[in-house]
Structure 1
Amino acid sequence: MNRGPTGIGAAGSARIKFDRLVAYSTLQLPLAMAALPVVLNVSHFYGEVLRVPLELMGAIFIFARVIDAIQDPLIGLISDRFTHRGPRGRLTFVGLMVPVLAGGFLMLFAPPGGWQDNQTLMAVWLVAALLLVHFGYSGVSISYHSHGAELTDDYNERTRVTVGREVFGLIGMTVAVVLPTVLTSLFDDAHGYTILGLLFIPVAALFSAPTLLGAGPSVHPPVVHAERNAFVAFFAPLKNRLFRRLLLIFIVNGSALGVAVTVMLFYVEHVLVGTKVQAGVILLVYFIAGAASVPMWLVVSRRVGKMAAWFFGMLLTAAAMALAVFVGPGDFHWFLVLSIATGVGIGADYGLPPSILADIINAPESGDTRGKTGTYFGLWALSTKLATAIGAAGSLPVSALLGFDPARGEYNTSALIVVYIVMPVAIKIVAAVLSWFIAVEPERGSVRKELTGRG
Structure 2
Amino acid sequence: MHAPKSGGGSTSSIRLRFDRLVAYSTNQLPLNMAALPVVLNVSHFYGEILKVPLGIMGLIFITTRVIDAVQDPVIGLISDKFTHRGPRGRLTFVALMLPLLIGGFYMLFHPPQSLFTQPGLLATWLFVALFVVHLGYAGVSISYHAHGAELTDDYNERTRVTVGREVFGLIGMTLAVVLPTYFTAQMGEHAGYVYMGLIFIPIAVLFSLPTLLWSPPSVHPPVVRENPEIHVRYFRDWLIGLAPWLGRPTRNMERSTTIKTLIPFFAPLKNRLFRRLLLVFIVNGAALGVAVSVMLFYVEHVLKGNKLQAGIILLVYFGAAAASVPLWMMLSRRFSKTAAWFIAMVLTAVSMSFGVVLGAGDFIWFMPIAIITGLGIGADYGLPPSVLADIINSDEGKDTKGDTGAYFGLWALSTKLATAIGAAGSLPVAALLGFNPSIGQYSAGALIFVYIAIPVVIKIIAALLIWYIRIEADRGSVRDELLGRRTATLG
Q: TM-score normalized by structure 2?
A: 0.86
Whole-Å separation in 2 of the counterparts to 1:159 and 1:45: 38
Q: CA RMSD in A?
A: 2.4
Shift of 1:317: 1.2
Please say if residues 80 and 374 of structure 1, whose CA atoms lie closer than 8 Å, have aligned partners that are also in contact.
Answer: yes
SS in 2 for 1:3: coil
Whole-Å separation in 2 of the counterparts to 1:99 and 1:262: 29
Question: What is the letter of the counterpart of residue 234 of structure 1?
Answer: F
SS in 2 for 1:223: coil
Shift of 1:51: 6.4
Question: What is the letter of the counterpart of residue 450 of structure 2?
Answer: V
Residues 63, 319 of structure 1: alpha-carbon distance in 2 compared, 3 angstrom cutoff: farther
Shift of 1:448: 1.4
Residue 390 of structure 2 is aligned with which of 338, 355, 359?
359
Residue 412 of structure 2 is aligned with which of 363, 378, 381?
381
Q: Does 1:341 align with 2:340?
A: no
Residues 287, 114 of structure 1: alpha-carbon distance in 2 compared, 3 angstrom cutoff: same
Q: Does 1:234 align with 2:233?
A: no
Q: 2:204 — aligned with what?
A: 204
Question: What is the letter of the counterpart of residue 273 of structure 1?
Answer: K
Matches within 5 A, 1:323-338: 323-338=354-369
Q: 2:5 — aligned with what?
A: 6
Question: What is the letter of the counterpart of residue 222 of structure 2?
Answer: P
Q: 1:166 — aligned with what?
A: 166
Residues 52, 446 of structure 1: alpha-carbon distance in 2 compared, 3 angstrom cutoff: farther
Matches within 5 A, 1:374-413: 374-407=405-438, 410-413=441-444
Residues 407, 121 of structure 1: alpha-carbon distance in 2 compared, 3 angstrom cutoff: farther
Q: 1:427 — aligned with what?
A: 458
Whole-Å separation in 2 of the counterparts to 1:312 and 1:116: 50
Q: 1:90 — aligned with what?
A: 90
Whole-Å separation in 2 of the counterparts to 1:115 and 1:415: 39
Question: What is the letter of the counterpart of residue 387 of structure 2?
Answer: I
Whole-Å separation in 2 of the counterparts to 1:409 and 1:112: 34
Whole-Å separation in 2 of the counterparts to 1:336 and 1:54: 34
Q: 2:320 — aligned with what?
A: 289
Whole-Å separation in 2 of the counterparts to 1:21 and 1:310: 23
Q: 1:265 — aligned with what?
A: 296
Shift of 1:37: 2.0
Matches within 5 A, 1:249-260: 249-260=280-291
Question: What is the letter of the counterpart of residue 3 of structure 2?
Answer: G
Whole-Å separation in 2 of the counterparts to 1:427 and 1:111: 39
Shift of 1:122: 5.9
Q: Deviations over 1:329-375 (max 9, x none)?
A: 22211112210111011111011000000000111101000011111
SS in 2 for 1:152: coil
Whole-Å separation in 1 of the counterparts to 2:401 and 2:429: 41
Shift of 1:402: 3.8
Whole-Å separation in 2 of the counterparts to 1:266 and 1:190: 23
Residues 371, 217 of structure 1: alpha-carbon distance in 2 compared, 3 angstrom cutoff: same
Q: Does 1:139 align with 2:170?
A: no
Aligned length: 454
Q: Deviations over 1:207-241 (max 9, x none)?
A: 00000000011111111124384421111000000
Question: What is the letter of the counterpart of residue 393 of structure 1?
Answer: A
Q: Deviations over 1:135-186 (max 9, x none)?
A: 1111000000000010111111111111110111111111111112212222
Shift of 1:98: 1.0
Shift of 1:56: 6.9
Please say if residues 242 and 360 of structure 1, whose CA atoms lie closer than 8 Å, have aligned partners that are also in contact.
Answer: yes
Question: What is the letter of the counterpart of residue 80 of structure 2?
Answer: D
Residues 230, 165 of structure 1: alpha-carbon distance in 2 compared, 3 angstrom cutoff: farther
Q: 2:352 — aligned with what?
A: 321
Q: Provide the identity percentage.
A: 69
Question: What is the letter of the counterpart of residue 299 of structure 1?
Answer: M
SS in 1 for 2:428: helix
Q: 2:245 — aligned with what?
A: none
Whole-Å separation in 2 of the counterparts to 1:55 and 1:447: 46
Residues 112, 411 of structure 1: alpha-carbon distance in 2 compared, 3 angstrom cutoff: farther
Q: 2:191 — aligned with what?
A: 191
Whole-Å separation in 1 of the counterparts to 2:61 and 2:426: 11
Please say if residues 98 and 136 of structure 1, whose CA atoms lie closer than 8 Å, have aligned partners that are also in contact.
Answer: yes
Q: Does 1:30 align with 2:30?
A: yes
Q: Does 1:247 align with 2:246?
A: no
Whole-Å separation in 2 of the counterparts to 1:270 and 1:116: 32
Residues 103, 413 of structure 1: alpha-carbon distance in 2 compared, 3 angstrom cutoff: farther
SS in 1 for 2:219: coil
Q: 1:80 — aligned with what?
A: 80
Please say if residues 28 and 169 of structure 1, whose CA atoms lie closer than 8 Å, have aligned partners that are also in contact.
Answer: yes
Q: TM-score normalized by structure 1?
A: 0.93
Residues 115, 421 of structure 1: alpha-carbon distance in 2 compared, 3 angstrom cutoff: farther
Shift of 1:190: 2.8
SS in 1 for 2:426: helix
| Comparing 56-65 and 410-419, the one that deviates more | 56-65
Q: Does 1:449 align with 2:448?
A: no
Residues 41, 369 of structure 1: alpha-carbon distance in 2 compared, 3 angstrom cutoff: same
Q: Does 1:222 align with 2:243?
A: no
Please say if residues 256 and 425 of structure 1, whose CA atoms lie closer than 8 Å, have aligned partners that are also in contact.
Answer: yes
Q: Deviations over 1:266-319 (max 9, x none)?
A: 332333222222111110111010000022101001111011110110111122
Please say if residues 54 and 407 of structure 1, whose CA atoms lie closer than 8 Å, have aligned partners that are also in contact.
Answer: no
Structure 2 residues without counterparts, runs of 5 or longer? 230-259
Q: Does 1:42 align with 2:71?
A: no
Whole-Å separation in 2 of the counterparts to 1:403 and 1:38: 28
Please say if residues 271 and 328 of structure 1, whose CA atoms lie closer than 8 Å, have aligned partners that are also in contact.
Answer: yes
Question: What is the letter of the counterpart of residue 17 of structure 1?
Answer: R
Whole-Å separation in 2 of the counterparts to 1:60 and 1:37: 16
Question: What is the letter of the counterpart of residue 395 of structure 1?
Answer: S
Residues 188, 325 of structure 1: alpha-carbon distance in 2 compared, 3 angstrom cutoff: farther
SS in 2 for 1:352: helix
Computing the radius of gyration over CA atoms, which structure comes out larger, 1 or 2?
Answer: 2
Please say if residues 52 and 407 of structure 1, whose CA atoms lie closer than 8 Å, have aligned partners that are also in contact.
Answer: no
SS in 1 for 2:298: helix
Residues 439, 123 of structure 1: alpha-carbon distance in 2 compared, 3 angstrom cutoff: farther
